[in-house]
Structure 1
Amino acid sequence: MKRCAIRTGAAVLAMALAGPAMAACKVGKIAELPVTLIGQRAMVQAKFGDRPTQFILDSGAFYSTISRATAAEFKLEDKALPPWFRVTGVNGDATASAAVARNFSLAGIALPKVDFIVAGTDTGTAGLIGQNILGLADVEYDLPHGTVRLLKVQGCADTALAYWAQGKPFSTLKLEAGNGGPWKPPTVATVLVNGVKLRAEFDTGAQTTVMTLSAAKRAGITPNSPGVVQVGRGSGLGSREVRTWLAPFEQIDIGGEIVPRPKLRISDIHMNADMLIGFDFFLTHRVFVSNVQHMLYMTYEGGSVFGINPSGARTTSGEKLDLTDSAAAPTDAEGYARRGAVEMSRQHMAEGLADFDKAVAMAPTEGRYLVLRAQARLANRQLLLAAADLDKAATLMPNDPDVRLSRASLRLANHDPDGAAEEVAAADTLLAPGSDRRLRLAGLYDSLDKPEAAIANYDAWLKLHGQDADRAVAYNGRCWARATQGRDLDKALSDCNTALRLRPGTAAYLDSRALVNLRLNKLDAALDDYDAALKGRPHDAWILYARSIAASRAGRADQAAADRKAALAINPNIAKRATRYGLER
Structure 2
Amino acid sequence: SVGTETIQHSEMLVMDGNFGDGSTDMVLGVDFMLAHHMYVANSQRKLYFTYNGGRVFSLDTASIGAHESAAVAANHADGEPKAATDYALRGQARLARGELANALSDLDAAIRLDPGNANDHLIRARILLARKQPEAARDDLDKALSLDPKNLDALLLRASLRDQEKNDAGAAADLAAAQKLAPAGSMQSRYIASLYVAIDEPANAVPLLDAWIRAHGDDASLGGALNGRCWARALANQALDDALRDCRKAIKRDGDRAAYLDSLGMVYLRMGNYAEAIKAYQQALAQSPHTAWSHYGLGLAEMRSGRTDAGKVELATARSLDKEIDAHAAKLGLVAPDASPGNKAPGVQASR
Preserved contact between residue 313 and residue 320 of structure 1 (Cα < 8 Å): no
Residue identity matched to 1:526: A
Q: Structure 1's 329 and 473: CA in aligned 2 closer, same or farther, altered over 3 A? A: same
- Relative to its length, the structure with more helix (as a share) is 2
Q: Does 1:336 align with 2:87?
A: yes
Deviation at 1:453, TM superposition (A): 1.1
Deviation at 1:363, TM superposition (A): 0.7
| 1:583 counterpart SS class | coil
Residue of 439, 446, 462 corresponding to 2:197: 446
The higher radius of gyration belongs to 1
Q: What TM-score results when the alignment is normalised by the length of structure 2?
A: 0.81
Partner of 1:91: 14
- Relative to its length, the structure with more strand (as a share) is 1
Q: How does 1:197-276 map to 2 (within 5 A)?
A: 203-205=27-29
Stretch moving more, 284-293 or 492-501 = 284-293
Q: Does 1:284 align with 2:27?
A: no
Preserved contact between residue 281 and residue 306 of structure 1 (Cα < 8 Å): no
Preserved contact between residue 14 and residue 220 of structure 2 (Cα < 8 Å): no
Deviation at 1:298, TM superposition (A): 4.5
Q: Does 1:437 align with 2:188?
A: yes
Q: Structure 1's 372 and 296: CA in aligned 2 closer, same or farther, altered over 3 A? A: closer
Which whole-Å deviations, capped at 9, do the CAs of 1:136-181 have from their partners, x for residues lacking one?
xxxxxxxxxxxxxxxxxxxxxxxxxxxxxxxxxxxxxxxxxxxxxx
Give the Cα separation in 2 of the matches to 1:380 and 1:506: 33
Give the Cα separation in 2 of the matches to 1:535 and 1:349: 39
Give the Cα separation in 1 of the matches to 2:13 and 2:230: 29
Deviation at 1:304, TM superposition (A): 4.2
Q: Does 1:549 align with 2:285?
A: no
Preserved contact between residue 489 and residue 520 of structure 1 (Cα < 8 Å): yes
Partner of 1:100: none
Q: How does 1:65-104 map to 2 (within 5 A)?
A: 91=14, 93=16
Residue identity matched to 1:415: K
Residue identity matched to 2:16: D
Partner of 1:425: 176
Q: Structure 1's 288 and 364: CA in aligned 2 closer, same or farther, altered over 3 A? A: closer
Partner of 1:116: 20
Partner of 2:334: 583
Which whole-Å deviations, capped at 9, do the CAs of 1:103-138 have from their partners, x for residues lacking one?
xxxxxxxxxxxx935xxxxxxxxxxxxxx7xxxxxx
| 1:468 counterpart SS class | coil
Residue identity matched to 1:409: S
Q: What is the number of residues matched between the two proteins? A: 324
Give the Cα separation in 1 of the matches to 2:90 and 2:70: 26
Deviation at 1:444, TM superposition (A): 1.2
**Which segments of 5 or more consecutive residues in structure 2 lack a partner in the other structure?**
5-11, 338-352
Partner of 2:244: 493
Residue identity matched to 2:102: E
Partner of 2:346: none
Residue of 108, 116, 136 corresponding to 1:357: 108
Residue identity matched to 1:496: C
Residue identity matched to 2:36: H
How much identity, in percent, do the aligned residues show? 36
Residue identity matched to 2:159: A
Partner of 1:467: 218
| 1:440 counterpart SS class | helix
Q: What TM-score results when the alignment is normalised by the length of structure 1?
A: 0.50
Deviation at 1:441, TM superposition (A): 1.0
Residue of 408, 413, 416 corresponding to 2:167: 416
Q: Structure 1's 360 and 471: CA in aligned 2 closer, same or farther, altered over 3 A? A: same
Q: How does 1:23-172 map to 2 (within 5 A)?
A: 91=14, 93=16, 116=20
Greater relative contact order (Cα < 8 A, sep 6+) = 1
Preserved contact between residue 314 and residue 321 of structure 1 (Cα < 8 Å): no
Residue identity matched to 1:447: A
Preserved contact between residue 408 and residue 424 of structure 1 (Cα < 8 Å): yes
Preserved contact between residue 54 and residue 66 of structure 2 (Cα < 8 Å): no
Q: How does 1:267-416 map to 2 (within 5 A)?
A: 279-287=30-38, 298-302=49-53, 304-307=55-58, 310=63, 313=66, 323-324=73-74, 325-326=76-77, 328-416=79-167
Deviation at 1:327, TM superposition (A): 5.3
Preserved contact between residue 312 and residue 320 of structure 1 (Cα < 8 Å): no
Residue identity matched to 1:116: G
Residue identity matched to 1:568: R
Residue identity matched to 2:270: R
**Which segments of 5 or more consecutive residues in structure 1 lack a partner in the other structure?**
6-88, 97-114, 118-131, 133-182, 187-202, 206-278
Q: How does 1:177-216 map to 2 (within 5 A)?
A: 183=23, 185-186=25-26, 203-205=27-29
Which whole-Å deviations, capped at 9, do the CAs of 1:196-240 have from their partners, x for residues lacking one?
xxxxxxx523xxxxxxxxxxxxxxxxxxxxxxxxxxxxxxxxxxx
Q: Does 1:526 align with 2:249?
A: no
Stretch moving more, 436-445 or 547-556 = 547-556
Which whole-Å deviations, capped at 9, do the CAs of 1:40-84 have from their partners, x for residues lacking one?
xxxxxxxxxxxxxxxxxxxxxxxxxxxxxxxxxxxxxxxxxxxxx
Q: How does 1:7-18 map to 2 (within 5 A)?
A: none
Preserved contact between residue 52 and residue 65 of structure 2 (Cα < 8 Å): no
| 2:20 counterpart SS class | strand
Which whole-Å deviations, capped at 9, do the CAs of 1:476-512 have from their partners, x for residues lacking one?
2221122123222110000111222333232222111
| 2:16 counterpart SS class | strand
Preserved contact between residue 280 and residue 306 of structure 1 (Cα < 8 Å): no
| 1:286 counterpart SS class | strand
Give the Cα separation in 2 of the matches to 1:536 and 1:506: 8
Give the Cα separation in 1 of the matches to 2:90 and 2:80: 9
Preserved contact between residue 510 and residue 529 of structure 1 (Cα < 8 Å): yes
Which whole-Å deviations, capped at 9, do the CAs of 1:302-344 have from their partners, x for residues lacking one?
55433365479469xxx98974425522111111111111222
Preserved contact between residue 52 and residue 66 of structure 2 (Cα < 8 Å): no
Residue identity matched to 1:424: L
